[in-house]
Amino acid sequence: MMNRPSPAVMKALREYLEEDIRSGDLTTKAIGQPMTPGTGTIFARSKAILAGAIEIAAIAEITGLACEALADEGKWVGPDEPVIRLKGPAGTLLTVERVCLNIIMRMSGIATKVHRMMETAREGNPALVVAATRKTTPGFRYFEKRAVQVGGGDPHRYALDDMVLIKNNHVAVVGGVGKAIKAARGAVSFSKKISCEVRNLKEAMEAVEAGADIVLLDNFKPKDIAKVNDALNKNGWRGKVILEASGGIDESNVKDYAQSGVDIVSSGALTHSYDASNFNMRLTFA
């Protein structure tokens, strides 16, 4: 049995249905026979890493449909492979079809992109963590982040209260990398990690010396990251800090970043520049 989502996620799924249905499914009502028993089978139409099956099962629960998983999340499916079977009144199947497909297509697209990027990255460094960012669709962040995890990546922080992440504009407000880190260290619990975005080697060294847990190397070239690694090793500081790289990282260059010596690469492309996977629903009637 698939895990049931949290109440907050169930609420979001209800809202997606309400957004699409509004006062009712005019077409389904117009053609009549809404209570005719039927089966709606969702098929993959192209090769993809399956994600979103838990959400489809939750929609089935909300709308009174029976749901059977025919494939496992996180595994390759398709093309023309059945992945989920829904059973119930024809009217309900027709009404939920688009919301179900919207979710599974987008989540599977993200999971597929993450999986492929990880395969490439780990050719350069088997231990590398591939993470998402907060460059997500408003109202759909949870599902995009979960899709990243299904694909084998790390979701990174879900919201601003997860950790301290000092970016360039924060540094500008305070007046320096070291000042910003020390201010944050004095203001938050030891349980919260402090990450600081830096723009050059000097700022990177300043961040480590000030006590950052994570140094975020923003828009660094792989060769410049290697210089940061060398400098930290010479000072005996490399083991004190996690190095994360971000900025323009995708499948075309992630292997180079993996070989540069960073621990983590984070990529907004995982959730804002992916191709939705192709799925459809086919209805049959006994």
User: What is the Cα–Cα distance from 73 to 149, expressed in whole angstroms?
Assistant: 11
Rounded to an integer, the average pLDDT of 108-115 is 98
Residue 49 confidence (pLDDT) above 50: yes
Residue 230 confidence (pLDDT) above 50: yes
**Cα-only R_g, the chain:** 23
pLDDT of residue 32: 81
Backbone region of residue 171 per phi and psi (left: phi > 0; alpha: psi in -120 to 50; beta: other values) = alpha
Contact 116, 110 (CB under 8 A): no
Residue 1 confidence (pLDDT) above 70: no
Reported as a pLDDT band with limits 50, 70 and 90, residue 3 is confident
Contact 41, 279 (CB under 8 A): no
Rounded to an integer, the average pLDDT of 109-131 is 97
Mean pLDDT over all residues of the chain? 95
H/E stretch holding 237 reads: none
Rounded to an integer, the average pLDDT of 135-164 is 96
Rounded to an integer, the average pLDDT of 152-165 is 96
Residue 112 confidence (pLDDT) above 80: yes
Residue 2 confidence (pLDDT) above 70: no
Q: Catalytic one among 11, 75, 135, 202?
A: 135
| Domains of the chain (ranges, CATH numbers) | 7-112+275-284 (3.90.1170.20), 118-272 (3.20.20.70)
**Over the stretch 55-76, which tens digit does the pLDDT of each residue have?**
999 999 999 999 999 999 999 9
Examine the residue annotation and report whether 75 is marked as an active-site residue of this protein.
Answer: no
pLDDT of residue 33: 72
